[in-house]
């Protein structure tokens, strides 16, 4: 459906589920229901912030409504649609401001994901928004009526966002966790704003950090040498490994399709007690390596 041309729609977000059961067009029913509910709460929360410059909390209400459109046949890709009174007050909102609104919501939601998984910078977000606003009159108008008030200007954007973003991130924690319910169980990847030019890709390392209440940070993907694989589940990919440069035995997770191939490189390395060069994404807890998510060898 062409949401850009549908009257009354202020914005929309496609959510795609990939990997594991989702590859067979299946998802656990309860996990999927919690995910859609969490995605709707998160989308409404961030959309309200971008439109009105305030964080919904406590008894605060919003005129924003979030609806779920039916998924396409054979797909669990969901579409969430935002409707607001603004589209009735300003009939041209959809034609003029929707693309700018979708862009802004995606950028702020991406920052929320990064903040909850341990790596983010409000100043970087502000700079991205500022640069876009320089060439987008539509975004400037949205900011002037929301994150920036009429008497302010772009110079005050950083102060406004530094003051309010932490509260938005905290308020987003519960709905984001709910949105990621199937991740690592029925699917291994969720993409918010899928099919757009600004997708938000969330995989198991980020989900682990977002679900944690401790100081858990997702590191950059890199190359590692696994000196030994002590145990490995061919069904789940969960393993216990030792890694060159790190002392001790660590939990790992192999998300590599080659694991399903008989006599693959992982089982050979485990059986022969030989080292294996891999690429993966580390997760750190309290500054120490906590888990390694392996994507290829």
* Total number of domains constituting the chain: 2
Name the domain boundary from 180, 195, 211: 211
Q: Please give the model's pTM, rounded to 2 decimal places.
A: 0.89
Instruction: Based on the fold, state whether residues 280 and 138 are members of the same structural domain.
Output: no
Query: What's the CA gap between 200 and 248, in Å, rounded?
Result: 34
Instruction: Based on the fold, state whether residues 69 and 129 are members of the same structural domain.
Output: yes
Instruction: Based on the fold, state whether residues 245 and 291 are members of the same structural domain.
Output: yes
Instruction: Based on the fold, state whether residues 26 and 83 are members of the same structural domain.
Output: yes
What local confidence, expressed as pLDDT, does residue 213 receive? 86
Instruction: Based on the fold, state whether residues 120 and 102 are members of the same structural domain.
Output: yes
Name the domain boundary from 162, 190, 211: 211
| Distant-in-sequence, close-in-space partners of 66: CB < 8 Å, separation ≥ 6 | 40, 41, 43, 44, 47, 80, 81, 82, 83
Residue range 168-206, pLDDT digits in tens: 999 999 999 999 999 999 999 999 999 899 999 999 999
Instruction: Based on the fold, state whether residues 77 and 206 are members of the same structural domain.
Output: yes
Instruction: Based on the fold, state whether residues 134 and 13 are members of the same structural domain.
Output: yes
% of the chain at pLDDT higher than 70: 89
Residue 241's domain comprises 219-296
Region at 58 (left for phi over 0; alpha for psi -120 to 50; beta for the rest) = left
89 pLDDT band, cuts 50/70/90, is low
92 pLDDT band, cuts 50/70/90, is low
Name the domain boundary from 211, 243, 273: 211
With CA atoms as reference, report the closest residue to 11 among 193, 133, 251: 193
Instruction: Based on the fold, state whether residues 198 and 253 are members of the same structural domain.
Output: no
Instruction: Based on the fold, state whether residues 131 and 72 are members of the same structural domain.
Output: yes
Residue range 236-248, pLDDT digits in tens: 899 999 999 999 9
Give the CATH number, domain containing residue 247: 2.40.50
Instruction: Based on the fold, state whether residues 185 and 122 are members of the same structural domain.
Output: yes
Instruction: Based on the fold, state whether residues 153 and 256 are members of the same structural domain.
Output: no
Instruction: Based on the fold, state whether residues 205 and 226 are members of the same structural domain.
Output: no
Query: What's the CA gap between 146 and 130, in Å, rounded?
Result: 14
């Amino acid at each position: 459906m062409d949401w850009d041309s549908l009257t009354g729609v202020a914005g929309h977000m496609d959510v795609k589920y990939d990997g594991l059961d989702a590859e067979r067009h299946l998802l656990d029913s309860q996990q999927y229901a919690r995910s859609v509910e969490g995605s709707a709460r998160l989308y409404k929360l961030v959309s309200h912030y971008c439109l009105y410059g305030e964080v919904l909390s406590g008894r605060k209400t919003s005129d924003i409504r979030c609806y779920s459109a039916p998924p396409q046949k054979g797909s669990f890709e969901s579409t969430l649609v935002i409707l607001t009174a603004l589209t009735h007050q300003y009939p041209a909102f959809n034609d003029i401001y929707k693309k700018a609104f979708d862009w802004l919501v995606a950028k702020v939601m991406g920052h929320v994901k990064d903040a909850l998984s341990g790596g983010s910078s409000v100043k970087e977000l502000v700079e991205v928004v500022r640069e876009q606003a320089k060439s987008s009159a539509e975004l400037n108008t949205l900011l002037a009526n929301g994150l920036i008030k009429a008497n302010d200007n772009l110079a005050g954007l950083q102060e406004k966002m530094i003051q309010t973003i932490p509260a938005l991130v905290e308020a987003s924690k519960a709905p984001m966790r709910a949105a990621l319910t199937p991740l690592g169980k029925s699917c291994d990847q969720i993409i918010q704003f899928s099919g757009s030019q600004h997708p938000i890709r969330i995989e198991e390392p980020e989900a682990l950090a977002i679900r944690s209440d401790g100081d858990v940070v997702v590191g950059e993907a890199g190359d590692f040498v696994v000196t030994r694989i002590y145990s490995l589940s061919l069904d789940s990919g969960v393993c216990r490994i030792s890694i060159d440069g790190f002392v001790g035995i660590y939990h790992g997770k192999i998300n590599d399709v080659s694991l399903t191939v008989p006599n693959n490189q992982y089982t050979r390395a485990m059986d022969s007690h030989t080292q294996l060069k891999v690429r993966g994404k580390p997760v750190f807890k309290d500054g120490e390596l906590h888990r390694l998510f392996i994507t290829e060898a």
